């Protein structure tokens, strides 16, 4: 080493630096204490000699070799192995002698280097670097701490360098473009794994990796996927057809009921048709009301889209095949709209049947010669036939709900002689009804005798019938008679 005093020479025994010349010592001043001397030396020269590690592996067997730099850069290495020691000399090119930097420039460079080093060390991201042969040559504090958490060592053990790898099969960029992939890491003692988004960037012959904790994003995506699957299963069980169109009016979601109701082929719906293509296909299938002309139909469809976007589209479609659809349009987030299609043919048929039965019953009651009236449990007049209106002069304006028992009783008493029947009717309705039917006679001012029959109805309703005495009809149920005696 004495004869190499003016050169840049390092003397190693295995990975320990035994001796170094003054010029070489200056280069090693910025070494990382976590790494061995040999690793610091390889890192120092990795930019100019990226394959120095493998090139020195056979030094002990060959004894002496010259190592050229990468891409024709100036200088070379003279390496010699003797008696268990490796002497490595960095030889400068005669055409590129060392340049001495002025103190201010050196201070500025050291300050910038310290700033960059602190950024890398204190970054919450995991940052590490591989050399040209894929060996980890640098890592920041976050990487080392996570490595120690995954691969703990004893309290008296020396921390290994390089630290044990966290990620396996990291992608190596082939060019200047970064490579991004996801890695799942299991942490001892933790219930959930940690997901990292790892980005690899090629810098010269080295590769720098950055790992960002992406667990929140992955778990959110998994929750969203699970939610969508749940919704899909729920929608699949619905009998109502569902079609959701995005902001561009493309079909993004539909359920099997839509296929069953409309008869549209599944492959057509899977192809994400536009809204108007969807409606055109429905028109071709005769699954939409048919106007007189196509221009009018298109105008109705434009109005349909506008109304659905505002959330007030509700229509009943009477189809040519006799089916009846209830169609509802509702706005969805981000400009999407949803259409619900429900087959209500059976409901409409049943409603029509009930309406027909009600109309028939009302017509039958209207044809009776007896004056029939029905009061609710609260005393409101809910039904009266034509004979009743003729007898008591009630206007046939259909406004029965505006009259109640007290109004009708007042009309009856005004048009007739005083009778205990009116008193008993009043008491009966105040009590909420009678246990059994009863009847009594009243006299109109026109000296016409009427038989008044009371009968309780289901749900607390009351039936009161007035029959002229000459047309009294025997009831199936026995009626309690009210007789008048002179006092």
Segment 33-54 shows an average pLDDT of: 83
Segment 426-454 shows an average pLDDT of: 89
Residues 87 and 121 in one domain: no
Within a domain: residue 418? yes
Number of structural domains the chain divides into: 4
Residues 207 and 254 in one domain: no
Residue 39: give the domain boundaries: 2-91
d(CA 179, CA 112) in angstroms, rounded, equals 28
Question: Which of 66, 91, 116 is the last residue before a domain boundary?
Answer: 91
Residues 300 and 373 in one domain: no
Residues 66 and 107 in one domain: no
3-state SS of the chain: helix, strand, coil percent to 5?
A: 40, 25, 35
- In tens, the pLDDT along 363-418 reads 898 898 899 999 998 899 988 999 998 888 876 554 555 788 998 999 999 989 99
CATH number at residue 309: 3.30.450.20
d(CA 172, CA 165) in angstroms, rounded, equals 15
pTM: 0.43
The pLDDT value recorded for residue 80 is 93
Tell me: cis bond preceding 162? Omega within 30 of 0 counts: yes
DSSP for 354-375, please give it.
Answer: HHHHHHHHHHHHHT-SSEEEEE
Q: β-pairing, 480-482 with 438-443? A: parallel
For residue 446, what are the contacts with CB-CB under 8 A and spacing of at least 6?
none
Residues 196 and 250 in one domain: no
Within a domain: residue 294? yes
Contact present, 113 and 30 (Cβ < 8 Å): yes
Q: Is the pLDDT at 479 greater than 70, yes or no?
A: no
Within a domain: residue 353? no
Residues 81 and 108 in one domain: no
Residues 28 and 122 in one domain: no
d(CA 146, CA 141) in angstroms, rounded, equals 9
Residues 107 and 72 in one domain: no
Segment 320-326 shows an average pLDDT of: 87
The pLDDT value recorded for residue 102 is 42
How sure is the predictor about 471, in pLDDT bands with cuts at 50, 70 and 90? very low
The pLDDT value recorded for residue 439 is 92
The pLDDT value recorded for residue 2 is 63
Q: β-pairing, 206-213 with 126-130? A: antiparallel
Segment 440-466 shows an average pLDDT of: 91
Within a domain: residue 224? no
- In tens, the pLDDT along 265-299 reads 989 999 999 988 988 888 888 888 876 666 676 77
78/169: higher pLDDT: 78
- In tens, the pLDDT along 122-147 reads 888 899 888 888 888 888 888 888 88
DSSP for 226-240, please give it.
Answer: HHHHHHHHHHHH-SS
Q: Is the pLDDT at 37 greater than 60, yes or no?
A: yes
Nearest to 405 by CA among 467, 463, 362, 466: 463
Residue holding tokens 């219930």? 191
CATH number at residue 52: 3.30.450
Contact present, 182 and 170 (Cβ < 8 Å): no
Residues 118 and 142 in one domain: yes
The pLDDT value recorded for residue 144 is 85
The pLDDT value recorded for residue 396 is 52
393 half-sphere exposure, CB direction, 13 A CA radius? 6
The pLDDT value recorded for residue 447 is 83
The three-state secondary structure class of 484 is coil
Q: Read off the tokens for 345.
A: 């043919």
How sure is the predictor about 111, in pLDDT bands with cuts at 50, 70 and 90? low
Within a domain: residue 175? yes
d(CA 141, CA 122) in angstroms, rounded, equals 7
Distances (CA, A) of 315 to 97, 254, 300, 322: 90, 20, 12, 16
Contact present, 319 and 325 (Cβ < 8 Å): yes
Within a domain: residue 303? yes
Residues 201 and 261 in one domain: no
The pLDDT value recorded for residue 105 is 46
Average pLDDT over the chain reads: 82
Within a domain: residue 334? yes
How sure is the predictor about 442, in pLDDT bands with cuts at 50, 70 and 90? very high
Share of the chain above pLDDT 90, in %: 19
Residues 75 and 132 in one domain: no
Q: Which strands form 206-213's sheet, in the order they lie side by side? A: 136-139, 126-130, 206-213, 194-203, 179-185
Residues 383 and 470 in one domain: yes
Q: Is the pLDDT at 224 greater than 70, yes or no?
A: yes
Q: Is the pLDDT at 485 greater than 80, yes or no?
A: no
- In tens, the pLDDT along 173-214 reads 877 788 888 888 888 878 888 899 999 998 888 888 999 998
d(CA 457, CA 376) in angstroms, rounded, equals 9
Segment 46-51 shows an average pLDDT of: 80
Within a domain: residue 267? yes
Q: Is the pLDDT at 22 greater than 60, yes or no?
A: yes
């Amino acid at each position: 080493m004495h004869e190499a005093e003016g050169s840049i020479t390092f003397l190693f025994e295995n990975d320990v630096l035994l001796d170094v010349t003054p010029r070489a010592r200056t280069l090693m001043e910025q070494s990382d204490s976590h790494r061995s001397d040999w690793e610091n030396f390889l890192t120092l020269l990795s930019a100019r000699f990226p394959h120095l590690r493998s090139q020195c592996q056979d030094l002990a067997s060959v004894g002496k070799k010259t190592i050229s730099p990468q891409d024709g850069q100036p200088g070379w290495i003279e390496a010699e192995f003797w008696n268990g020691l490796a002497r490595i000399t960095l030889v400068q090119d005669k055409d590129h002698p060392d340049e001495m930097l002025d103190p201010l420039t050196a201070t500025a460079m050291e300050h910038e280097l310290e700033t960059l080093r602190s950024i890398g060390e204190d970054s919450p991201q995991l940052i590490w670097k591989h050399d040209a042969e894929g060996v980890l040559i640098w890592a920041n504090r976050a990487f080392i701490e996570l490595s120690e958490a995954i691969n703990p060592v004893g309290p008296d053990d020396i921390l290994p360098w390089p630290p044990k790898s966290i990620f396996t099969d990291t992608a190596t960029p082939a060019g200047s473009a970064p490579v991004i992939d996801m890695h799942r890491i299991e942490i001892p003692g933790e219930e959930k794994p940690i997901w990292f988004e790892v980005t690899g960037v090629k810098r010269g012959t080295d590769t720098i990796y950055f790992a960002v904790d992406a667990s929140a994003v992955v778990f959110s995506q998994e929750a969203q996927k699970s939610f969508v699957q749940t919704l899909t299963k729920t929608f699949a069980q619905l009998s109502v057809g569902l079609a959701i169109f995005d902001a561009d009016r493309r079909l993004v979601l539909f359920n099997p009921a839509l296929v069953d109701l409309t008869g549209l082929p599944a492959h057509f719906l899977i192809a994400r048709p536009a809204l108007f293509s969807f409606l055109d296909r429905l028109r071709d299938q005769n699954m939409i009301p048919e106007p007189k002309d196509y221009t009018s139909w298109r105008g109705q469809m434009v109005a349909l889209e506008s109304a659905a976007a505002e959330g007030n589209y509700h229509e009943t479609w009477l189809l040519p095949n006799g089916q009846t659809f209830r169609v509802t349009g509702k706005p969805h987030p981000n400009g999407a709209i949803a259409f619900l299609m429900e087959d209500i043919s059976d409901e409409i048929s049943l409603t029509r049947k009930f309406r027909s039965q009600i109309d028939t019953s009302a017509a039958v009651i209207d044809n009776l010669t007896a004056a029939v009236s029905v009061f609710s449990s609260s005393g409101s007049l809910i039904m009266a036939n034509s004979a009743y209106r003729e007898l008591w002069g009630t206007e046939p304006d259909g406004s029965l709900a505006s009259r109640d028992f007290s109004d009708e009783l007042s009309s009856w008493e005004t048009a007739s002689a005083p009778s205990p029947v009116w008193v008993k009717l009043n008491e009966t309705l105040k009590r909420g009804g009678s246990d059994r039917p009863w009847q009594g006679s009243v006299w109109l001012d026109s000296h016409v005798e009427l038989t008044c029959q009371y009968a309780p109805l289901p749900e607390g309703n009351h039936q009161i019938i007035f029959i002229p005495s000459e047309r009294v009809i025997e009831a199936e149920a026995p009626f309690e008679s009210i007789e008048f005696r002179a006092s």
